[in-house]
Structure 1
Amino acid sequence: MTNVIIDGDACPVVDSVIELTQGTGISVLIMRSFSHFSTKIDPSHVQTIYVDDGPDAVDYKIVQRARTEDIVITQDYGLASLLLNQVYIVMHHKGEIYTPQTIDTLLEQRHASAQFRKSGGHTKGPSPFTKEDRAIFEQKFSTIIQTLTASEED
């Protein structure tokens, strides 16, 4: 059975994933650090797990919990690279599906930017998350969910 695991500390599509998986038989697992604690009650197909606030604690827990049939949603390139050969799909919250080819390029760009900043340069952060980004994510995620639920019916 497929689960969706969300790197949930700063993920802007949590509500979209919950809504799009409602009634599909797909469970959602949101992993968050205690500093992002919420008293919000999750729907029955959603579970939130809180882990220590330490660096990469959420990432380590996701790697530990992820299985072959799972979908993981993260914007963390390092986590995505660890999961590529471990899970069904690793997806960015803007709808990009990570592949071995794209992750290598993304990691190289991240390294080059870090080196540039280390030498005193300044870089821009990521562009703001827009309604268009959400729509692209929801369309791509819906297609994945439809494919999964159709194959499970066969």
Structure 2
Amino acid sequence: MKIIVDADACPRNVLQICLTMAREHALPVWTVASFNHNIESDHHVVVGNASQEADIRVMNLAHAGDVAVTQDWGLAAMLLGKGVKCLNPGGKEFSTNNIEFLLEERELKAKFRRSGGRTKGPKKRVVEDDQQFEACLRNILTQF
């Protein structure tokens, strides 16, 4: 088992929580990000700036039983299909029960934006987000 972090848009606090909890459970943490990011990790993979390049590398690194941290719902859906536990930096776990709804919502919002509509961006990150993430990751890691 390993923790894989899609680090392109991952908050630094989330990465620190992953590194700390991985040490507690004697797990390696792999981070994947484009060369535009300065990430410090024992197992860091630098990819190019092409679209989906980091996602493809995360998919290639992941195996059943691993844990992945990503904000990308499409990547999470593919990882779930491989038997990988997935959660977002806000501490919400992706599952086969909620991923279809999230993908449909993403498609509806994209369609709305293509027709000229505007959607809200993410809320500002707060301390409770870090606490929620840590609790969710701890729960996942203690299941194994």
What interval of TM-score do these two structures reach, taking the shorter chain for normalisation? over 0.9
Which AA in structure 1 matches 2:2?
A: N
Q: Match for residue 18 of structure 1?
A: 19
- Opposite residue 79 of structure 1, the aligned amino acid is L
For the Cα contact (< 8 Å) 2:34–2:46, is it kept in 1? yes
CA distance in 2, matches of 1:80, 1:144: 15
Deviation of the 1:23 alpha carbon = 3.8
Q: CA deviation at 1:118?
A: 0.9
Q: Is the 8 A contact 1:7 1:32 kept in 2?
A: yes
CA distance in 2, matches of 1:99, 1:143: 14
1:146 aligns with 2:113: no
Q: Which 5+ residue runs of structure 2 have no aligned equivalent?
A: none
State the alpha-carbon separation in 2 of the partners of residues 129 and 23 from structure 1. 25
Read off the aligned partner of 1:49 and give its amino acid letter: V
TM-score if structure 2 supplies the norm length? 0.92
Q: Return the match for 2:46 from 33, 50, 53.
A: 50
Find 2:120's aligned residue among 121, 124, 128.
124
Deviation, 1:140, is: 1.5
Tell whether the 8 Å contact from 1:77 to 1:107 is kept in structure 2 after alignment.
Answer: yes
Deviating above 4 A after TM superposition, structure 1's stretches of 4 or more consecutive aligned residues are: none
| Matching residue of 1:34 | 35
Runs of at least 5 residues in structure 1 that lack an aligned partner in the other structure: 149-154
| Residue of structure 2 equivalent to 1:60 | 56
TM-score, length-scaled by structure 1: 0.86
How far apart, CA to CA, are the structure 1 residues paired with 2:141 and 2:99? 23
Matched residues, number: 142
Amino acid corresponding to residue 108 of structure 1 in structure 2: E
Give yes or no for contact 2:62–2:84 (8 Å, CA) kept in 1: no
- Could you tell me how far apart the structure 1 residues matched to 2:38 and 2:82 are? 28
Distance in 2 separating the partners of 1:137 and 1:37: 22
Q: Which amino acid aligns with 2:27?
A: I
Who wins on radius of gyration, i.e. which is larger? 1
Select 1:72's aligned residue among 68, 71, 74. 68
Alignment match, 2:8:
9
Q: After TM superposition, give the deviation of residue 101 of structure 1 in Å.
A: 2.5
